[in-house]
Amino acid sequence: MPTYQYHCPSNGETVEVQHGMLEELTTWGDVCRRAGIGLGSTPAEAPVERLISGGLLGTVVGGTPNSASPSLLPMAGCCGNPAGCRRHG
């Protein structure tokens, strides 16, 4: 699951959370529930902004699918996680 950063202008805090690509959190309460943290003194209804991040960039190195040498992505593991993943070992 992708990691996103949400900023709350009401309290000045920025929190990282993981969720699906089509989901968007809109309130401080949503972010706190997803991150497993308390609201603090900020109202649950306080709006949040999702910050723009660089994301994950995969580049093909070492040829094309039709070349004699296999194409390699600069990330290890089947899911792009250098340590692999629980699903695939």
Residues 73 and 58: beta-carbon distance below 8 Å: yes
Residues 7 and 25: beta-carbon distance below 8 Å: no
Paired tokens of 39: 């609201």
pTM over 0.85: no
Q: What is the number of domains present in the chain?
A: 1
Give 71-88 pLDDT, tens digit per residue: 444 444 455 555 555 555
Quick check: is 38 in a domain? yes
Q: State which residues form the domain around 16.
A: 3-50
3-class DSSP state of 32: helix
For residue 76, the model assigns a pLDDT of 46
Quick check: is 61 in a domain? no
Quick check: is 25 in a domain? yes
Give 44-54 pLDDT, tens digit per residue: 999 999 997 65
Give 27-72 pLDDT, tens digit per residue: 999 999 999 999 999 999 999 999 976 555 444 455 445 544 444 4
